[in-house]
Chain A
């Protein structure tokens, strides 16, 4: 079985103090550490587990700059057989459509049975690439998948819906599956595991190999343009509750009552 998994390289904003870049269309990213999107960690794990279960090969792909090689190498350490890095500086500022397009162009030339991605990325939360990729490749797709089983050229998925509902669906392969977090326990990648795959070549793929030109990627190729990125003005609607635990709890209960929650 040929499994492809698409990874995103994102800035880690969890502990950082964020500030807006000049121009107001993005955050300042120079001081941020980048890492594999957490949702995609579950996707690569699922891809590798599918490979271990059904026998196959895993290809990891990312549209990401040079630094992201370490992420793809980590994917190899996690069990991917090969990895490709698609990049050209013109990709800077691309939206989900451009990314999906680049991935689709790359994947079109290779046979696959299943594509596994994360449903969302933690940075922009767009959740677009999986669906668009399916459409561009002309195969069915599903999101928030929490379990995958494969038999007779079909895949059965479980999705978790609001309200604790489960939904089982079936699809013909090939298909694009965007997974939910928590569907597996991603393995840990040790320093040694990464070093073991140090000699595997990670080819970089440029625009011409995709049959695209600069105008089709980056801002110019995007269908969405960001107008403004900003931090919510402080103070409005937020109250910091001070005092001892008892006092704070009492105040919290009071607020909740006021708002009619309790």
Chain B
């Protein structure tokens, strides 16, 4: 028999090409309208210059967009996604071909003839089976195993969407198989070339020629309808990411560690009507594109320390709530929902959520499509802070920074007091015009917290013993402002950073060095003027390499050591190897990684004035959680490279009853005590 081709069979007396044309034009018109509405909202949003660095962006897109490089961080789900994504890429040609077949039975894409067509069709057939299999597994995972990260606390009825999409994709595959399988019966080929068609054919073997024709034609039109149905469902559902994820990766943030300005493109933000973001269009267009693009995969929240210890924050829910709000406030059809007095920032995204973030960056590092949270949270904080709604626990320390340049409320003149009685080292306070090779930036914590002063002293001793020519700013040093900026007090950030910049500029040095990753981050990434700066771990590793610094294993003994990556050193500045190198150059030291290490390190609850932040919802301290992780691998010493990590972990060692069993020590102190 010869099978009838859809293009040649009129439906209800209407020629097939006419029907195909109506479906295509109708779908494209609808799709264009929806996309236009969605893009229209982006155009109302705040500016965001993401059009430069084209080559870097293309690289990102190839690696993380098409290459899906972040997917395998969750191995099982990642693998499924890669297969599905590859399947979509391969099947896109098939879809174009099928659309053409509505007009002409002979339609094929250019070059898709002969052996190439045969080869492609075979690959396509395998792909159809893979995609179908993946979708069935995905449905089963969601229905039966229900991974916790897919949940939507305070439900917004999105759980069903995943099933609709997966169902549509399955239907696409099945109708494709029916269409090809019915044609396979009269023109069989070896099954291993076309397994999907052969499989479908095996079900239709006994069908009469008329039934086969109906299946062939019915399968075709069903496929076309499912295809355009899916296409049009995407931009109105959470699965918009199928369309927006690649652009989202292309436009991702390339300025790691830095906070965005209050508003791009204004010379004096102080003159703005409003500072910070209190509604959708206050966000930048890229940030709203983020909301569109979130796939609800929950990887961000699964790694968010605030979420894990029970604070009100789940980053994924910020995207979901904001997207729901966007879809309701700027609907495709009908009139906008009236939210009454309910505000996006403050009510829908609550103040508790906004203040609960430690800006650790775990969410951003995890997201497969580079959705950002820190900048958005800081933007919302800027707004809340301007309304005066800063949590009480943070007011005093901020006020102290404003008045005295440090959150401890200590008198400025005492800033260098820690440096006065260190045996064997003289710490120079650099006056204006003085010169030193290294400028040691101590920051407030190292200057005033008695425990952290010990790190300052250790560092001074190392610098002294390795004959480094160094000095400190003393009185002229101000709080670095890392958290001041992240809390949203931009005016105060400008004030402290300007004072520090002035102090830097009036002295001569080759490089700044600091052991505080927060200071390191803000000076390196946020200060409007750039100064060469390194972190103590980088300096120590250089000193070890140059054999200026030699260690003995006496202090550490045979204890098992682990290393806790500080967020602002690791995730925000990609320094993972130097501290490990220094640790492992101590003779006889046994080292073991915690399960969460490097870019998956677990925040100890934040530094700077976040030390003062009190959260009522958390059921355990982040530091305690971290100490238990160290306990799990039997670590006796936790080395870290950040004063705030040290404070938080040291507290947690006490509260988890590990005093005397686990010691936490800064890398600088470890080096100091191990010097031979």
Partner-B contacts on A (CB < 8 A): 12, 14-16, 31, 33, 35, 78, 185-193, 195
B270 lies within 8 A of A195 (CB): yes
Task: Name 22 A/B residue pairs within 8 A (Cβ), A-sorted.
Answer: A12-B409, A15-B408, A15-B410, A16-B411, A78-B388, A186-B395, A187-B388, A187-B390, A188-B395, A190-B275, A190-B385, A190-B386, A190-B489, A190-B492, A191-B491, A191-B492, A191-B495, A192-B270, A192-B490, A192-B491, A193-B388, A195-B270
Closest to A185 in B: B392
Complex alpha-carbon distance, A63 and B409, angstroms: 25
In the assembled complex, the CB of B657 is this many whole angstroms from the nearest CB of chain A, namely 12
A31 lies within 8 A of B489 (CB): no
Supply 17 further A-B pairs (C-beta < 8 A) apart from A190-B491, A191-B491, A191-B495.
A14-B409, A15-B408, A15-B409, A31-B413, A187-B388, A187-B390, A188-B385, A188-B389, A188-B395, A188-B398, A189-B388, A190-B385, A190-B386, A190-B489, A191-B402, A192-B270, A195-B491
Closest to A77 in B: B388
> Is B387 part of the contact surface with A, judged by Cβ < 8 Å?
yes
Given contacts A15-B408, A33-B403, contact A193 B386 (CB under 8 A): yes
**Chain B residues, CB < 8 A from A33:** 403-404
Complex alpha-carbon distance, A12 and B389, angstroms: 24
**Chain B residues, CB < 8 A from A31:** 411, 413
In the assembled complex, the CB of A52 is this many whole angstroms from the nearest CB of chain B, namely 12
**Chain A residues, CB < 8 A from B492:** 190-191
Q: Which of A16, A35, A185, A190 contacts B403 (CB 8 A)?
A: A35
Which of A16, A189, A192, A195 is the most central at the interface, judged by chain B CB atoms within 10 Å of its CB? A192
**Chain B residues, CB < 8 A from A12:** 403, 409
**Chain A residues, CB < 8 A from B389:** 187-188
Tally B residues with Cβ within 8 Å of A: 27
In the assembled complex, the CB of B373 is this many whole angstroms from the nearest CB of chain A, namely 23
**Chain B residues, CB < 8 A from A185:** 392
Interface string of B470-509 (1 = CB under 8 A from A): 0000000000000000000111101100000000000000
Complex alpha-carbon distance, A12 and B411, angstroms: 11
Complex alpha-carbon distance, A195 and B491, angstroms: 10
**Chain B residues, CB < 8 A from A35:** 399, 403
Complex alpha-carbon distance, A29 and B386, angstroms: 32
8 tightest A-B contacts by CB? A187-B388, A191-B491, A188-B390, A15-B409, A192-B491, A188-B388, A188-B395, A191-B492
**Chain B residues, CB < 8 A from A16:** 411
In the assembled complex, the CB of B247 is this many whole angstroms from the nearest CB of chain A, namely 34
**Chain A residues, CB < 8 A from B385:** 188, 190
Closest to B488 in A: A190
**Chain A residues, CB < 8 A from B494:** 191
In the assembled complex, the CB of B34 is this many whole angstroms from the nearest CB of chain A, namely 40
Closest to B272 in A: A192
Which of A16, A31, A185, A190 is the most central at the interface, judged by chain B CB atoms within 10 Å of its CB? A190
**Chain B 389-424 interface residues, beta-carbon cutoff 8 Å to A:** 389-390, 392, 394-395, 398-399, 402-404, 408-411, 413
Partner-A contacts on B (CB < 8 A): 270, 275, 385-390, 392, 394-395, 398-399, 402-404, 408-411, 413, 489-492, 494-495
Closest to B404 in A: A33
Closest to A191 in B: B491
**Chain B residues, CB < 8 A from A190:** 275, 385-386, 489, 491-492
Complex alpha-carbon distance, A193 and B274, angstroms: 11
Complex alpha-carbon distance, A164 and B138, angstroms: 59
B387 lies within 8 A of A187 (CB): yes
**Chain B residues, CB < 8 A from A187:** 387-390
Complex alpha-carbon distance, A195 and B270, angstroms: 8
**Chain A residues, CB < 8 A from B491:** 190-192, 195
In the assembled complex, the CB of B399 is this many whole angstroms from the nearest CB of chain A, namely 8
**Chain A residues, CB < 8 A from B410:** 15
Complex alpha-carbon distance, A12 and B495, angstroms: 22
In the assembled complex, the CB of B494 is this many whole angstroms from the nearest CB of chain A, namely 8
**Chain A residues, CB < 8 A from B394:** 188
Closest to B395 in A: A188
Q: Which of B275, B390, B411, B413 contacts A192 (CB 8 A)?
A: B275
Complex alpha-carbon distance, A78 and B411, angstroms: 26
Closest to A33 in B: B403
In the assembled complex, the CB of A34 is this many whole angstroms from the nearest CB of chain B, namely 9
In the assembled complex, the CB of B580 is this many whole angstroms from the nearest CB of chain A, namely 33
Complex alpha-carbon distance, A191 and B481, angstroms: 14
A15 lies within 8 A of B386 (CB): no
**Chain B residues, CB < 8 A from A195:** 270, 491
Closest to A41 in B: B395
**Chain A residues, CB < 8 A from B392:** 185-186
Complex alpha-carbon distance, A175 and B360, angstroms: 51
In the assembled complex, the CB of A244 is this many whole angstroms from the nearest CB of chain B, namely 9
In the assembled complex, the CB of A49 is this many whole angstroms from the nearest CB of chain B, namely 11
A192 lies within 8 A of B403 (CB): no
Closest to B413 in A: A31
A15 lies within 8 A of B411 (CB): yes
Complex alpha-carbon distance, A191 and B493, angstroms: 10
In the assembled complex, the CB of A29 is this many whole angstroms from the nearest CB of chain B, namely 13
Closest to A70 in B: B403
**Chain A residues, CB < 8 A from B390:** 187-188
Closest to B489 in A: A190
In the assembled complex, the CB of A45 is this many whole angstroms from the nearest CB of chain B, namely 9
In the assembled complex, the CB of A78 is this many whole angstroms from the nearest CB of chain B, namely 7
Complex alpha-carbon distance, A35 and B402, angstroms: 11
In the assembled complex, the CB of B613 is this many whole angstroms from the nearest CB of chain A, namely 14
Closest to A32 in B: B411
In the assembled complex, the CB of B402 is this many whole angstroms from the nearest CB of chain A, namely 7
In the assembled complex, the CB of B259 is this many whole angstroms from the nearest CB of chain A, namely 16
**Chain A residues, CB < 8 A from B411:** 15-16, 31
Complex alpha-carbon distance, A33 and B387, angstroms: 26
Complex alpha-carbon distance, A143 and B294, angstroms: 54
Complex alpha-carbon distance, A19 and B394, angstroms: 30
In the assembled complex, the CB of B273 is this many whole angstroms from the nearest CB of chain A, namely 11
In the assembled complex, the CB of A15 is this many whole angstroms from the nearest CB of chain B, namely 4
Complex alpha-carbon distance, A7 and B499, angstroms: 30
A192 lies within 8 A of B386 (CB): yes
**Chain A residues, CB < 8 A from B270:** 192, 195
Complex alpha-carbon distance, A31 and B389, angstroms: 32
**Chain B residues, CB < 8 A from A193:** 386, 388
Complex alpha-carbon distance, A175 and B246, angstroms: 66
**Chain A residues, CB < 8 A from B490:** 192
Complex alpha-carbon distance, A193 and B389, angstroms: 13
Closest to A36 in B: B399
In the assembled complex, the CB of A161 is this many whole angstroms from the nearest CB of chain B, namely 24
Complex alpha-carbon distance, A33 and B492, angstroms: 18
**Chain B residues, CB < 8 A from A186:** 392, 395
In the assembled complex, the CB of B480 is this many whole angstroms from the nearest CB of chain A, namely 17
Complex alpha-carbon distance, A29 and B192, angstroms: 92
In the assembled complex, the CB of A240 is this many whole angstroms from the nearest CB of chain B, namely 15
**Chain A residues, CB < 8 A from B409:** 12, 14-15
Closest to A79 in B: B388
Complex alpha-carbon distance, A192 and B274, angstroms: 10
Closest to A15 in B: B409
**Chain A residues, CB < 8 A from B398:** 188
Complex alpha-carbon distance, A185 and B398, angstroms: 16
